[in-house]
């Protein structure tokens, strides 16, 4: 079945860039997503990318997709303490209804 | 925007009782709603997919008689945890999708269930 993997933890200093990586196995993925979850809260969609794109930029966020290697990354420029949260990578396949999530990356921003 | 609410946000119940969690799409109609369960420090696990007016589709390993899902209208889905046990304690999150062609799911804020 489909599988999505992420590194579990990332620590950066305030003002630095953060890069969170994700790999997936589903070659028929059509959309890939990044969600943010703050403690005790639901998921907030940060951004998504269609599988025929290789990059998408939205303010401080840059998503890079390497479809050949099935690798997705999220870069957060000028990371702030408010960016501390869990970040989930997710994908949805061509015929699928369901999102498949990675285990989440805990981002800790030190001031 | 596309806002999804859940009620209650937190609930504590005694073992053996049933608990109902509501998921509402506030400013759009959702043909499909999804129910997820999240264990501490883990990812979201899809429990079931519910389409308005039809029976929910449960994921493998999820007991349909224990987790009753009703999607009676285009803005409301309910999850009832029947005869709850302490191992049902978890964070339950719903999401809603506007229509079958939409690629986006909008998530609710989650419901923390504690069974004592």
Q: Residues 31-70, chain A: which have Cβ within 8 Å of B?
A: 31, 35, 40-45, 48
pLDDT at B33: 94
pLDDT tens digits, one per residue of A62-82: 999 999 999 999 999 999 999
Q: Is the pLDDT of residue A1 over 70?
A: no
β-strands A55-58, A61-66 pairing: antiparallel
Q: Residues 53-92, chain B: which have Cβ within 8 Å of A?
A: none
pLDDT at A42: 87
Q: Is the pLDDT of residue A96 over 70?
A: no
Please tell me which residue of chain B has the smallest CA distance to A49. B103
Q: Which residues of A touch B106 (CB under 8 A)?
A: 45
Q: Which residues of A touch B49 (CB under 8 A)?
A: 97-98
CA distance A103 to chain B (A): 4
Find the range with the poorest average confidence among A5-19, A68-82, B97-111: B97-111
Where does chain B show beta strands of DSSP type E?
Answer: 4-7, 10-13, 19-25, 32-38, 44-51, 57-58, 67-73, 76-81, 90-97, 106-107, 111-115
Residues 6+ apart with CB under 8 A from B47: B35, B36, B37, B58, B59, B62, B67, B79
CA distance B65 to chain A (A): 22
Of A31, A40, A44, the CB nearest to B103: A31
Percent of chain A with pLDDT over 90: 76
Report residue A103: phi and psi, to 5°.
-80, -10
Q: To 10 degrees, the CA torsion angle through A16, A54, B34, B93?
A: 0
pLDDT tens digits, one per residue of B35-85: 999 988 788 899 999 988 888 999 999 999 999 999 889 999 999 999 999
pLDDT at B16: 97
Residues 6+ apart with CB under 8 A from A107: A10, A11, A12, A18, A20, A76, A79, A83, A84, A85, A86, A87
Q: Is the pLDDT of residue A57 over 70?
A: yes
Bridge partners (DSSP) listed for residue A58: A61
Q: Which residue has the tokens 């979850």?
A: A37
**Interface contact A88, partner B, CB < 8 A:** yes
CA distance B43 to chain A (A): 4
pLDDT at A30: 86
């Amino acid at each position: 079945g489909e599988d999505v993997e992420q590194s579990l933890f990332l620590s950066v200093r305030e003002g630095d860039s953060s890069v969170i990586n994700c790999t997936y196995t589903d070659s028929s993925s059509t959309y890939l997503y990044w969600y943010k979850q703050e403690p005790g809260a639901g998921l907030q969609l940060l951004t998504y990318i269609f599988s025929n794109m290789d990059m998408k930029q939205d303010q401080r966020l840059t998503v890079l997709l390497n479809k050949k290697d099935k690798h997705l990354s999220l870069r957060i420029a000028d990371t702030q303490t408010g960016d501390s949260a869990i970040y989930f990578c997710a994908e949805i396949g061509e015929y699928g209804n369901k999102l498949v999530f990675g285990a989440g990356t805990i981002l800790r921003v030190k001031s | 925007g596309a806002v999804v609410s859940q009620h209650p946000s937190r609930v504590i119940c005694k073992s053996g009782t049933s608990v109902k969690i509501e998921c509402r799409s506030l400013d759009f109609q959702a043909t499909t709603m999804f129910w997820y369960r999240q264990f501490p420090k883990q990812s979201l696990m899809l429990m079931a997919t519910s389409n308005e007016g039809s029976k929910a589709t449960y994921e493998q390993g999820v007991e349909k008689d224990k987790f009753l899902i009703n999607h009676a209208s285009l803005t409301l889905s309910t999850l009832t945890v029947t005869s709850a046990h302490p191992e049902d304690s978890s964070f339950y999150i719903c999401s809603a999708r506007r229509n079958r062609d939409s690629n986006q799911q909008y998530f609710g804020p989650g419901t923390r269930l504690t069974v004592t």
